[in-house]
Chains A and B, each alone.
Chain A
Amino acid sequence: MKKFILILSFLIILTLAFAGNYRINGMGGAGLALINDIKTVTYNPSLMGNLKSTNLRVLGVDYTMNKNMLDLVQQLSDDATVTRLINSIKGDLSKGEDSSDEDIGEDLTYLLKNYSLYLNNDSFMDMELNSGLVFNFKIVQIGIGANTNINALMNFDTANLAVDTFNVNAKTKTGVALSTGLQFLRVGIGIYDEAALGYNIEQGTSVTDIATDIQNNPPKLINTVAGDLSATLQLGAFRMSAVSRNAITSYSKAYSLDNLNNVPINQDIQDMVSKLTINSTNLQNNLDLGVAFVQKGFALSAQIDNFHGFLDRVNNGPTSENLSLVRYLHFGIEKSILPFLTLRAGVNQGYLTFGGDVFLVLGRVGFAYYGSEAGMIAGDQIRQNFEVHADVLF
């Protein structure tokens, strides 16, 4: 019985924290001064002081699907060719045959020609996995965290059945964060190693030549060590946070994947860490500001991305490099409706967002819908996204 209570207590502690990007996205992207989970390690270390004494997330998963993908799924489900293709592959598999006969080739060509445009001009896959551990010793907080983002984007030339752009990036950000201060003012620093695996296909490569292109032009691993500086002022229910991304920088190094075994990556990372310096340009230009009003079961928040650019746009009007005012702005609201149910809404770059989550015995599942601006100014071109999240706890 004692063991059962201990495990239950541990699970409750684990699930006390909200989780993941879906909460921020459901609140219009205004999460800088609000976030209170493991993601603070890589997002805003100066908020780690608001966490419980021990926080662990083994694995959180966010999957984002844009509306183009939903339309594609709908169209494919109504297309008889898809059913025929699936049946054909099933038939071949059941007979133990190779699924490369002529009919399948024709069907795949048909699908490519008719549906690849749905994938164009947009990320068609965007997934994040995150995990971390934070110890809060009241005056000092220490956290380690890891985020892995997998993102794919393509542009397909339907007329020539060739790929114009195909870009896959898998990025893992691991790091340590330290924050210190008293309840009303905390400062944080996070140092991260970011390993990005990128593959860009050469423009005009025919679909039949992709495998050859990968051999001739192998994906590259780019490793970067950098750090963020952050500070949070907290007076009662009010909070104000400032985070300067990559305010501490070193240098990046690229490695060819086919030669990784012969490269001293660890030595290079140590070298990068030893050369970290304050980057005054990034300190000023990459400064995000957020405010929040947080009570039990209720929160209001607002955020301005790139405060320096925002001020420049306000003071000097639009320029070709700094056109839109609204793209900097994020607002959100959140309310617990029931002990196990929270709903949220917001305005992200002028577009409505909403979301929610439900507490389950072994974790929490959540969702968010959010629009973002894919055009030059607000109202030009909406990008609609649907995000689902699950915390997997043991």
Chain B
Amino acid sequence: MKKKVFIFLIAALLTLMMASCTNNFLAGLEDKNAINEMAKTDPQMALDLAQQAAETGDVGAAVSNTTQSLITTLSTSTGVSTEVTGAMEDVNPTQVSTALAIVSNTESSTDDLVDAQEVLSNAASSITKAASELQAQLSSGATISEEVKSNLQTAAKVTVKAIATKHGFTMDNIASNVTDFIPKDVSADATTSKVVDFLASLINTFPTNGEIELMIAMQKLARSANATPEATLGTFNDPMMAVTLSMDEIVHIFYQLVDTNSNGYLDSGDDIWPSYQEFLESDKSEEALSTFRDEILGLSNPFESNEQKFEAVESDIYDMIYNLKIGANALTDLVPDIDTSDFSSDLDTAKAQLDDFFSTFDVTSYNTVGELIDAIMDKF
């Protein structure tokens, strides 16, 4: 008996020690306030802190330091107009950080979530405005330094990495889902079943709508520093990121359609929820899938009667297609190196499907957003 108690105590002690191992007992001695103050005047330091935070999964610190770095970089750079710096200074890094903490907390109330989404969406709008102003300024002949361009790109990378990694919305996961999705069994039921699994696995990894908007806005700002968006994506030297960004565009559209309570998630407050649940719990037949699609397209779609929103969605779709094309081209460059693996042949198949999609896709031939989404859904 004594022996058992002794072993239990030793095991409990070891467990406690192992659990304490990752905690830093002296972190309180660091002067974090002074360090944060320094980051406000030292953009490189803010970016370094953001990268560290992204590595450790602290999304709030990563994004707030990134935006702080951009505000300082742009406001202290020669050749950047007051319209650009003014738009960036509208972003409040502390509020963004708090909002990201709220959307990460599973116990946040719907009201708090809606407010947080608004904060993130407003920040994304300001960053997008800064991107437009910067691109307009550069188009008229102004120039900015390579260091500033580099900072903008790093900021986009850090933001996308931090948010996407937190949700598991990484290209590795997406590629893995695509690999599983490619139907080996061509029967209708098997294909439909795979579609259901694919959608469910994707939805489970979606960042919230506000986070998606932030990711898109940051990469728009990075792109705006170059004459052509493609050139900037090329300097990312990261085709997987191009494809991830295109997935962001798809998810953004998805949220605009289904997130009817505007809390950033697909959840029980949304009109689509009962049909989505039924869809997940269905027998995964072709009929069930058709019903799901009808439910989506049968919604009293606010975009069809709202011209501005329609234009926004259409613009997103153009961006998405552009990104996917770049991503697909980048995949073409990748595939020859790995053409002996199962993974690459699956990617090859996926790419062929995407190429086929682009070659026949003409956005102007659709009259409503519903028709556009219908076409995209057909491909999934």
Residues of A within 8 A of B (CB): 102, 105-106, 109-110, 113, 159-161, 206, 317-320, 323-326, 329, 347, 349-352, 354, 369, 371, 373, 375-382, 384
Q: Given contacts A105-B340, A159-B240, could you give 17 more A-B pairs where the C-beta distance is less than 8 Å?
A: A106-B340, A110-B343, A113-B338, A160-B337, A161-B338, A318-B30, A319-B38, A320-B45, A325-B30, A326-B27, A329-B26, A349-B26, A351-B25, A377-B30, A377-B35, A379-B24, A384-B21
Q: Identify A378's interface contact among B24, B49, B238, B341, CB under 8 A.
A: B24
Complexed CA–CA distance, A113 and B240 (Å): 13
Complexed CA–CA distance, A379 and B52 (Å): 11
Complexed CA–CA distance, A329 and B342 (Å): 50
B26 touches A326 (CB 8 A): yes
Contact A369 to B24, CB < 8 A, known contacts A159-B240, A317-B31, A376-B52: no
- Residues of chain A within 8 A (CB-CB) of B78 are none
Closest-by-CB residue of A relative to B25 is A350
A159 touches B239 (CB 8 A): yes
Q: Identify B24's interface contact among A109, A110, A160, A351, CB under 8 A.
A: A351
Q: List 30 A-B contacts (CB under 8 A).
A: A102-B340, A105-B340, A106-B341, A109-B338, A317-B31, A317-B34, A318-B35, A320-B44, A320-B45, A324-B30, A326-B24, A326-B29, A347-B26, A350-B26, A351-B22, A351-B24, A369-B21, A375-B56, A376-B49, A376-B52, A377-B30, A378-B24, A378-B26, A378-B29, A379-B27, A379-B30, A380-B53, A381-B56, A384-B21, A384-B22
- Residues of chain B within 8 A (CB-CB) of A381 are 52, 55-56
B17 touches A354 (CB 8 A): yes
B30 touches A352 (CB 8 A): no
The 5 lowest CB-CB distance pairs between A and B, nearest first, are A379-B27, A350-B26, A379-B24, A350-B24, A326-B26
A161 touches B55 (CB 8 A): no
Closest-by-CB residue of A relative to B49 is A376
Complexed CA–CA distance, A381 and B58 (Å): 11
Residues of B within 8 A of A (CB): 17, 20-27, 29-32, 34-35, 38, 42, 44-45, 48-49, 52-53, 55-56, 238-240, 334, 337-338, 340-343
Complexed CA–CA distance, A76 and B9 (Å): 32
A320 touches B38 (CB 8 A): yes
Smallest CB–CB gap between B62 and chain A, Å? 12
Give the one of B30, B31, B334, B337 with max A CB within 10 A: B30
Q: Identify A159's interface contact among B52, B238, B341, CB under 8 A.
A: B238
Q: Identify A325's interface contact among B24, B31, B55, CB under 8 A.
A: B31
Closest-by-CB residue of A relative to B240 is A159
Closest-by-CB residue of B relative to A159 is B240
- Residues of chain A within 8 A (CB-CB) of B34 are 317-318
Complexed CA–CA distance, A161 and B340 (Å): 13
- Residues of chain A within 8 A (CB-CB) of B49 are 376
- Residues of chain B within 8 A (CB-CB) of A369 are 21
- Residues of chain A within 8 A (CB-CB) of B334 are 159-160
Give the one of A110, A318, A369, A371 with max B CB within 10 A: A318
B38 touches A318 (CB 8 A): yes
Complexed CA–CA distance, A373 and B45 (Å): 18
Contact A352 to B27, CB < 8 A, known contacts A320-B45, A381-B56: no
A110 touches B341 (CB 8 A): yes
Complexed CA–CA distance, A110 and B55 (Å): 25
B21 touches A206 (CB 8 A): no
Contact A380 to B56, CB < 8 A, known contacts A109-B338, A325-B30, A326-B26: yes
A380 touches B52 (CB 8 A): yes
Complexed CA–CA distance, A376 and B31 (Å): 12
Q: Identify A352's interface contact among B21, B29, B338, CB under 8 A.
A: B21
B25 touches A375 (CB 8 A): no
- Residues of chain B within 8 A (CB-CB) of A319 are 38
Q: Identify A320's interface contact among B22, B42, B52, B239, CB under 8 A.
A: B42
